[in-house]
């Protein structure tokens, strides 16, 4: 190992920690150091680390691509600093450790070898293929006293796949960590990685999270398709009136449109379909998201990366300078971001946001809790759509079901013929009686009377106007889907257990 490289790595660590501690974002700090670096191996490593970061790779993961410069000990401390949010202070400790010989720098290393055998590899391949072919959104590997349980989430429900003996717990965990380029030796800190896979002819971006738990490490694998997003609003909205009402919200030249619902209610899918419509209309669209689920062609999608100086607030400032016609923001984390979104909507842009809320009334209350001034919110808000996902009766094993008319009327159903159905359970639906999901929606368009009441902070008037203006409340939408045999009363009650009327 050359002494010059050792000193160069120590100096790099020292300067990098100082710049981060002084408030310089990660990328500009690396660019500053690159301009001053004269050690050839380190210079090339920093240059390529910057390229990896630009593609969305975390700093520690980017450094790990250069084991000839950064040793496992070095990387472990960097990862600890990133996880704890103390990277600036950690880099100073690393610099001292390198100079004192306590932390070695990198050197020639043999390519990493797979730590597991053929049986373990076959088990992981089998689990991933099963999860993908069943349409699962994620795969969970959880250590239990008996060994390791594998389950996948299908249509919002966790379905058990296999239980492996204790002897296979560590090998399976090591196999997944190896494929996701995680540190196999690290068992006490959380880690995040990714695997790019081709399963059943589909390209899958698998995001892996490793969480230390009581009996080992829990692995969560999110299965995201790399194929361009293809879902249209025609497939999302079964009711043409609701589809027209939502398209009307997207037709306003400027304003705030909120898509709300709990986790797993399909908000992202609806939002992506809306962005697809806007792009097809010839609008310039920028999307700011915590995680990019799928690629929407023609839309500028950027992930939030606070460790790189790219928070929601900072990305909104940058997006404004690109002059988009429409903005999509996947979350409203604080009052600062709320204020910027209102300003953007009032300046003439269509702003679409996500919000975790249970009803239109809950949306208004949460926006106000984010310190949105009532008079500005009244001017900016164009409309709200709240949604839920309910499972559909499996067509392969469906049979007639008895439903009391009074139960449907309690949900708001008025009249018509009841053709209720339920599934007996078959191989095609994994004995659940349900296969596929459909969304329930309630759509609210903010009219002048509502805006006046909101500006005056008249809560009673606001609630009454919301009730009067909804296209169809969620309970009524659910009752209609029960009456026509699409889903069951039990499923609608499950999905709406937290619903709150205006």
Q: What CATH number has the domain bearing residue 60? A: 1.20.81.30
- Bridge partners, 328 (sequence order): 287, 352
Residue range 442-462, pLDDT digits in tens: 998 888 888 888 888 777 777
Same domain, 340 and 369: yes
Q: Which of 203, 225, 247 is the last residue of a domain?
A: 225
Residue 115, pLDDT > 60, answer no
Residue 185 shares a structural domain with residue 263: no
Whether 194 has a pLDDT exceeding 90, the answer reads no
Helix boundaries (H) for 100-159:
118-133
Across the strands, what pairs with 441?
Answer: 387
pLDDT exceeds 50 at position 477: yes
Residue 112 in any domain: the answer is no
Mean pLDDT for 287-293 is: 84
Q: What is the pLDDT of residue 305?
A: 79
- Answer whether residue 325 shows pLDDT above 90: yes
Query: Are 324 and 359 in the same domain?
Result: yes
Which tens digits make up the pLDDT trace of 36-69?
Answer: 888 888 888 898 888 888 877 888 888 888 888 8
What is the predicted pLDDT for the residue at 140? 95
Residues above pLDDT 90, as percent of the chain: 27
pLDDT at 83 over 70: yes
Choose between 14 and 291: higher pLDDT: 14
Residue 226, pLDDT score: 65
Regarding whether 299 and 168 lie in a shared domain, the answer is no
Lowest mean pLDDT among 27-31, 276-280, 304-308: 304-308
- Does 429 lie in the same domain as 336? yes
Burial (CB < 10 A; 0-12, 13-18, 19+), residue 322, is: exposed
CATH number, residue 200? 3.30.450.90
Are residues 354 and 259 in contact, defined by beta-carbon separation less than 8 angstroms?
Answer: yes
**3 state SS of 464:** helix
Question: Are residue 266 and residue 397 in the same domain, yes or no?
Answer: yes
Residue 221 confidence (pLDDT)? 93
Check whether 253 has a pLDDT greater than 90. Answer: no
3-state SS string for 286-343:
EEEECCCCCCCCCCEEEECEHHHCECHHHHHHHHHHCCCCEEEECCCCCHHHHHHHHH
| 321 and 216 co-located in one domain | no
Q: Are residues 142 and 205 in the same domain?
A: yes
Same-domain check for residues 238 and 220: no
C-alpha 489: how far from chain center = 30
Last residue of a domain, one of 72, 99, 126: 99
Assign 111 a pLDDT band (cuts: 50, 70, 90).
Answer: very low
Residue 148 has pLDDT above 90, yes or no: yes
Q: Is the pLDDT of residue 437 over 90?
A: no
384-403 pLDDT per residue, tens: 999 998 999 999 998 988 88
pTM equals: 0.69
64 within some domain:
yes
Q: What is the mean pLDDT of the chain?
A: 86
Query: How do strand 398-400 and strand 421-423 relate by DSSP bridges?
Result: antiparallel
Residue 190 pLDDT > 90: no
| pLDDT at residue 405 tops 70 | yes
d(CA 437, CA 167): 38
Interval 259-272 mean pLDDT: 88
Please give the residue that has the higher pLDDT: either 490 or 465. Answer: 490
Q: Residue 112's pLDDT is what?
A: 46
The boundaries of the domain holding residue 292 are 233-495
Confidence of residue 412 (pLDDT cuts 50, 70, 90): confident
How many domains, the chain?
3
Across the range 369-375, mean pLDDT stands at: 90
């Amino acid at each position: 190992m050359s002494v010059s490289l050792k000193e160069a790595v120590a100096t790099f660590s020292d300067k990098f920690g100082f710049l981060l501690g002084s408030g310089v974002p990660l990328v500009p700090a690396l660019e500053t150091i690159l301009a001053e670096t004269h050690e050839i191996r380190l210079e090339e490593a920093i240059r390529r680390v910057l390229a990896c970061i630009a593609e969305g790779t975390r700093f520690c993961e980017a450094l790990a691509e250069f084991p000839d410069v950064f040793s496992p000990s070095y990387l472990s401390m960097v990862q600890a600093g990133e996880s704890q949010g103390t990277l600036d202070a950690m880099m100073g400790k690393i610099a001292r450790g390198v100079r004192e010989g306590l932390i070695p720098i990198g050197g020639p290393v043999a390519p990493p070898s797979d730590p597991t055998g053929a049986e373990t590899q076959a088990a992981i391949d089998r689990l991933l293929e099963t999860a993908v072919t069943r349409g699962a959104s994620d795969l969970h590997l959880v250590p239990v006293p008996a060994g390791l349980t594998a389950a996948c989430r299908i249509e919002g429900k966790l379905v058990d796949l296999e239980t492996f003996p204790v002897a296979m717990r560590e090998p399976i965990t090591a196999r997944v960590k190896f494929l996701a380029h995680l540190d196999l030796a690290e068992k006490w800190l959380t880690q995040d990685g990714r695997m790019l896979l081709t399963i059943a002819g589909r390209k899958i971006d698998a995001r892996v999270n490793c969480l230390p738990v009581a009996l080992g490490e829990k692995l969560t694998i999110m299965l995201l398709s790399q194929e361009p997003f293809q879902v249209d609003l025609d497939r999302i909205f079964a009711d043409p009136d609701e589809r027209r009402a939502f398209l009307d919200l997207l037709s306003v030249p400027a304003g705030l449109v909120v898509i709300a619902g709990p986790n797993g209610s399909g908000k992202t899918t609806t939002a992506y379909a809306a962005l697809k419509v806007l792009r097809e209309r010839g609008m310039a669209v920028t999307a700011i998201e915590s995680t990019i689920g799928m690629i929407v062609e023609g839309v500028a999608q950027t992930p939030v990366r606070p460790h790189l100086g790219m928070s929601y607030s900072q990305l909104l400032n940058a997006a404004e300078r690109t002059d988009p016609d429409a903005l999509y923001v996947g979350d409203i984390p604080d009052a600062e971001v709320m204020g910027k979104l209102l300003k953007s909507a009032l300046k003439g842009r269509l702003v679409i946001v996500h919000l975790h809320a249970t009803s239109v009334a809950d949306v208004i209350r949460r926006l106000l809790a984010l310190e949105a001034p009532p008079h500005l919110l009244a001017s900016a808000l164009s409309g709200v759509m709240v949604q839920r996902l309910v499972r559909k009766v499996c067509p392969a094993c469906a049979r007639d079901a008895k439903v009391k008319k009074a139960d449907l009327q309690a949900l708001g159903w008025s009249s018509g013929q009841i053709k209720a159905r339920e599934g007996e359970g078959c191989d095609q639906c994994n004995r659940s009686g349900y296969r596929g999901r459909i969304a329930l929606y309630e759509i609210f368009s903010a009219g002048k009377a509502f805006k006046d009441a909101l500006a005056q902070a008249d809560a009673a008037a606001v609630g009454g106007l919301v009730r009067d203006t909804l296209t169809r409340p969620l309970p009524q939408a659910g009752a209609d889907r029960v009456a026509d045999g699409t889903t069951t009363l039990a499923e609608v009650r499950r999905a709406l257990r937290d619903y709150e009327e205006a």
